Structure 1
């Protein structure tokens, strides 16, 4: 079957259509897995799974010292410059050694304390120690993904993503039947190993072409350039999981473990459809924005992205909202408290998508202060409102807080982006 001409002529639509197929398959499989988890471990077990996933998310940034977006930017710029690439990956190599050493050491030496913080019990300290052993694979997976995204190899990325997902889900199901909740947690912990092996199997020749493994040196010629991305990544990739972990613990303390699980399950649904946009940002938006310096061209590109993505996203969200009771019945039977939460989560996520597109200008142009300010501002508003509104609306208060912070954050990001181009225009006039 031929791809329609209007899709073939639009790179973003080509990525979107291919990505949509991958996401739909993932959503269908994820629905089955979530149903099994609901039956076998319940909302309290799903709350613990959410805690471990947040820890894994945190480690993806710390283990590689937040170099992911920097790799994407500089691969896109230097893909034909072997000398610069060598400098880039030597620096990344040193950063990764530091990140993995610190992460693994903290997890090993403080496994009991981390287990108590995450799960309110020391029973899972073995899981934290296992995660410590997996940390080097988490770092490698992040670095290799940065190369794939920087090259905009969206077809190979889709294949790698789908195959590694199939294998990890298969492992999760087997471990669930064999060892119940403990098995699922172990499967999640070792997923990065699977991802790295699949990446090497399908992409090793290309990786070797851009990363001269034998010539890597313990030198950091691009340390200053990458440190900006490290700081930005740490703010978003570390603070967000910590906030999510704390909010789950707060729900568990002030309401119940079930309420914490209800919110975890809702955010899991959200994360699954937000993955649809996440890979497009790194594969298309950052490389595209990196080469745009004039406001008119930027505005034209943003409008094009909005016209392509927002209607598709809106249609999908409306479908999810109308099907919310069916989704709950099929995937989370009995968790009817989730139904009123959908509208706030979906509206918030739609606004968040629009703001994330604009915010990737901060990453593309290394606007460190703007990025850090908006991330800390957004998370602070969310954290404060969640604690306040839970006392009034219970678990629904968290998703209301999510919607309000997304709305406010969009306005702040729009203002900062317009201010950036206004300053650039003034500089040109002065020169």
Structure 2
């Protein structure tokens, strides 16, 4: 089964990425403490927003159409060339904005202007970040899984090395510079590997700008922009809520919990983005779509449930291994976070249909509604349940989101085929 094969390669990426990410996180926790972890989490959210605007938010569109056009070299060339021009133009527009307004962004996201220079470095290097993201999306869409695995593996290793060195010498500021520089450095590795690929030709990136393809990508750009704004902004608002209502240490515990959650779910998320998006985009009939979705549920949900159970019962060991004794209070966050993770993955298997089939209006509406609901629940639950309330809000939000996905796709899921 292709999903299993893809999951094996995804597992390679994931193990290395998790290992490097947790080692880097351990170093950051030791040298900066819970407060530093919270600030670095905020900066990661800001980079996600910046990168989305800097490459025109076209990654998912490139994956979909690279998969769809796989047998058509002419369309591939037009897609890659148009995507390349969009990435460069958007980076050239957004980079100077980051440089000029760095003090404002630093104060807005990190609550002071100490990290202004890190944002300016991001502005100078974001074109490399953007192009690296484009090349990885092309590899994903072309189903170049081995190359995709190699690039991501090298990226994780480079990120780890850069993070350890800069955090050791420059503490929190070093961690911020590491976030900015690692993916820009990886671009040159990605470029060398892609250029050596059998399919590669410079003609793929030198064709005229195609307005038809650009309009197709625009729908995905709109969806990605909404996500890029909604998710990080909601996390920034909730992080600031915790800082105000609980403490900056409490925000650090939540950020630490999010890192654990993101880490063990990385295999599933990588499999979905690497396999499901291009696969669902290529399927034409409801019967095939239903079969693929059920297949995903049979493989993915038992794996997520098993992971949640193991993580919960090993939570004290995980905190000790990944962080420091000062992070022990975060153990109270595990139960509801893991409940939310399970329903999040259950919902995402269905929600990927919205991306694969360019269901723009429904995607945008659900994204906005559930982001607002998450923040609203966060404010209510933190008020009544203190720090633990933030993960209770997360769990309830994704339970409702999963039920909504079942309702939206009820005809596809429950339809009987002969």
**TM-score range with shorter-chain normalisation?**
over 0.9
| Residue in structure 2 matched with residue 196 of structure 1 by the alignment | 187
| Residue in structure 2 matched with residue 238 of structure 1 by the alignment | 229
Which stretch has the larger CA shift, 381-390 or 92-101? 92-101
Asked if residue 257 in structure 1 is aligned to residue 248 in structure 2, the reply is yes
CA separation of 1:214 and 1:305: change in aligned 2, threshold 3 A: closer
Residue 411 of structure 1 and its aligned partner are, at CA, apart by 1.1
**CA distance in 1: counterparts of 2:41 and 2:289, whole angstroms:** 37
Kept in 1: contact 2:382–2:390 (CA 8 A): yes
Which stretch has the larger CA shift, 238-247 or 89-98? 89-98
| Residue in structure 1 matched with residue 217 of structure 2 by the alignment | 226
Residue 239 of structure 1 and its aligned partner are, at CA, apart by 1.5
For 1:181-192, list aligned pairs within 5 A: 181-192=172-183
For 1:334-353, list aligned pairs within 5 A: 334-353=326-345
**Match of 1:121, SS?**
coil
For 1:11-410, list aligned pairs within 5 A: 11-206=2-197, 209=200, 212=203, 215-332=206-323, 333-410=325-402
**CA distance in 1: counterparts of 2:241 and 2:316, whole angstroms:** 27
Kept in 2: contact 1:88–1:221 (CA 8 A): no
Asked if residue 413 in structure 1 is aligned to residue 402 in structure 2, the reply is no
Which stretch has the larger CA shift, 367-376 or 24-33? 24-33
CA separation of 1:263 and 1:211: change in aligned 2, threshold 3 A: farther
Structure-2-length-normalised TM-score = 0.94
List gaps (5 residues or longer) in structure 1: 1-9, 426-431
Residue 296 of structure 1 and its aligned partner are, at CA, apart by 2.7
Structure-1-length-normalised TM-score = 0.91
Which stretch has the larger CA shift, 293-302 or 201-210? 201-210
Kept in 2: contact 1:285–1:360 (CA 8 A): yes
Residue 422 of structure 1 and its aligned partner are, at CA, apart by 9.8
Kept in 2: contact 1:23–1:276 (CA 8 A): yes
**CA distance in 2: counterparts of 1:259 and 1:211, whole angstroms:** 51
Kept in 1: contact 2:45–2:233 (CA 8 A): yes
**Match of 1:221, SS?**
helix
Query: RMSD between aligned alpha carbons?
Result: 2.1
Kept in 2: contact 1:89–1:211 (CA 8 A): no
Kept in 1: contact 2:237–2:375 (CA 8 A): no
Residue 188 of structure 1 and its aligned partner are, at CA, apart by 1.0
Kept in 2: contact 1:134–1:192 (CA 8 A): no
List gaps (5 residues or longer) in structure 2: none
Residue 103 of structure 1 and its aligned partner are, at CA, apart by 2.0
Q: How many residues are aligned here?
A: 415
Which stretch has the larger CA shift, 412-421 or 186-195? 412-421
**Match of 1:171, SS?**
helix
Kept in 1: contact 2:54–2:126 (CA 8 A): yes
**Match of 1:206, SS?**
coil
**CA distance in 2: counterparts of 1:91 and 1:239, whole angstroms:** 27
| Residue in structure 2 matched with residue 3 of structure 1 by the alignment | none
**CA distance in 2: counterparts of 1:348 and 1:316, whole angstroms:** 13
Which stretch has the larger CA shift, 287-296 or 312-321? 287-296
**Match of 2:409, SS?**
helix
Kept in 1: contact 2:159–2:182 (CA 8 A): yes
**CA distance in 2: counterparts of 1:291 and 1:78, whole angstroms:** 10
Residue 317 of structure 1 and its aligned partner are, at CA, apart by 1.9
**CA distance in 2: counterparts of 1:395 and 1:197, whole angstroms:** 42
**CA distance in 2: counterparts of 1:292 and 1:39, whole angstroms:** 48
CA separation of 1:146 and 1:211: change in aligned 2, threshold 3 A: farther
**CA distance in 1: counterparts of 2:103 and 2:318, whole angstroms:** 37
**CA distance in 2: counterparts of 1:270 and 1:92, whole angstroms:** 32
**CA distance in 2: counterparts of 1:77 and 1:361, whole angstroms:** 15
Residue 405 of structure 1 and its aligned partner are, at CA, apart by 0.7
**CA distance in 1: counterparts of 2:24 and 2:275, whole angstroms:** 30
